[in-house]
């Protein structure tokens, strides 16, 4: 489930009513991007894929348009959970992975935002054998955010948006001191959300309309 980024506008305007709408949406989007990237709150299962013998790279189809993968959460290969590595880690731990050797994969790497590669080339095809779950983040054209983020953590997103606006120089709404405070709350709520997500449950944050601290 997703909600429109415009859903956050009322909270931004509660503190800074004169911000142009497009600018407000831009800073909300960037705040959502950072929040999702650092907390892994936007978790989605990707479409199940067939494992094809002799094929070690697989394109990833995301369930929400205008998003990208923030991180892979798990990759299941024929009922076996693969280790998710970086290219540098595989180069160190399994130097032969780039040689195109046949075998049963035990690791994979995200080559780019839309492609994963196994460390071995499968020798057997498996129908619906590849199951992937990933955390997502908006790209620059995205117009939505995960509903859970809005329902439970919108205060943090608004902190991030307000900090970006208030730290802009020479604007009628510029307020460096308050902007730094909003940034502090933004970082704190991202951290709490990240810990909560790791624990596997949703802890609701404050949902009150943002007010200026004094």
pLDDT score for 206 = 39
Domain boundaries, the chain: 2-41+141-199, 43-138
pTM score above 0.95: no
Neighbours of 150 (CB within 10 A): 20
Q: Distance from first CA to last CA of the chain, Å, rounded?
A: 36
Cβ burial of 177 (10 Å; 0-12, 13-18, 19+) is: exposed
Cβ burial of 84 (10 Å; 0-12, 13-18, 19+) is: middle
Structure confidence by residue, pLDDT tens digits, 20-61 = 999 999 999 999 999 999 999 999 999 999 999 999 999 999
200 band by pLDDT with thresholds 50, 70 and 90? confident
């Amino acid at each position: 489930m997703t909600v429109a980024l415009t859903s956050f506008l009322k909270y931004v305007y509660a503190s800074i009513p004169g911000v142009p709408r497009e600018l407000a949406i831009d800073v909300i989007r960037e705040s959502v991007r950072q929040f999702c990237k650092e907390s892994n709150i936007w978790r989605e299962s990707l479409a199940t894929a067939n494992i094809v013998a002799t094929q070690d790279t697989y394109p990833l189809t995301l369930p929400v348009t205008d998003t990208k993968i923030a991180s892979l959460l798990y990759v299941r290969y024929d009922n076996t959970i693969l280790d998710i590595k970086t290219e540098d880690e595989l180069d160190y731990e399994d130097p032969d992975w780039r040689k195109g050797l046949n075998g049963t994969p035990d690791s994979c790497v995200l080559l780019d935002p839309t492609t994963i590669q196994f460390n071995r080339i499968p020798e057997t095809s498996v129908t619906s054998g590849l199951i992937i779950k990933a955390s997502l983040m908006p790209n620059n054209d995205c117009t939505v955010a995960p509903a859970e983020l809005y329902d439970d953590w919108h205060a943090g997103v608004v902190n991030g948006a307000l900090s970006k606006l208030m730290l802009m120089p020479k604007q009628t709404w510029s307020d460096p001191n308050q902007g730094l405070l909003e940034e502090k709350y933004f970082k704190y709520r991202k951290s709490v959300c990240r810990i909560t997500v790791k624990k596997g449950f949703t802890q609701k944050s404050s949902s009150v309309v943002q007010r200026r601290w004094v």
